[in-house]
Amino acid sequence: MKVTPTSIADILVIEPRVFGDDRGFFMETYNQRDLARETGLSPVFVQDNHSLSGRHVLRGLHYQLQQPQGKLVRVISGEIFDVAVDIRKSSVAFGQWAGVRLSAENKKQLWVPEGFAHGFLVLSETAEVIYKTTDYYNPQTEHCIAWNDPDLDIEWPLDGMNPDLSEKDQQGDAFKSASYFD
């Protein structure tokens, strides 16, 4: 496994070792012992999520204050631009974002710890995204920051297109008025 920090040190790109030949490939998508050895992290995952979305669907930027979720995100079909925004007031990276292209082809994963808002944009015709979480989903404690907030200035690779947003994501809060982690 290869682990590379992003522009925000707590957000990590994890590249598993892939063993392939003309028959296909094999890889371990998660190994707690190896992750702990390489990063010092030993998250306990309690839930796996799987989504299918079409081109230009943008999901996020979501987070839960009362039950914050660390997420290990990967793509099994297609490609996304995955984004995490630091919303920890005490962090030196508060208000900064990191974005990574994840795809079935590159097999990269993104570790997004608790304390971050998370979202992604589908770049391919469709994409299937799977992610493990460290706490359970609780819609009553979920918050959303506007994907296009000018204070965050996220460089979504939209190529002049408008994203396809859920009603909830259309109502995202401005970053300045959002709730944060202390």
Around 68, how many Cα atoms within 13 Å sit in the side-chain half-sphere? 17
Catalytic choice (62, 63, 118, 180)? 62
Q: Is 30 a catalytic residue?
A: no
Find tokens 């408008």 and name the residue. Answer: 162
Catalytic choice (50, 56, 118, 131)? 131
Cα distances (Å, whole numbers) of residue 22 to 16, 27, 105, 109: 19, 15, 15, 24
Query: Comparing C-alpha atoms, which of 132, 130, 117 is closest to residue 85?
Result: 117
Pairing of strands 116-122, 24-27: unpaired
Q: Is 137 a catalytic residue?
A: no
**Alpha carbons 94 and 15: distance in angstroms, whole number:** 26
Catalytic residues: 62, 131
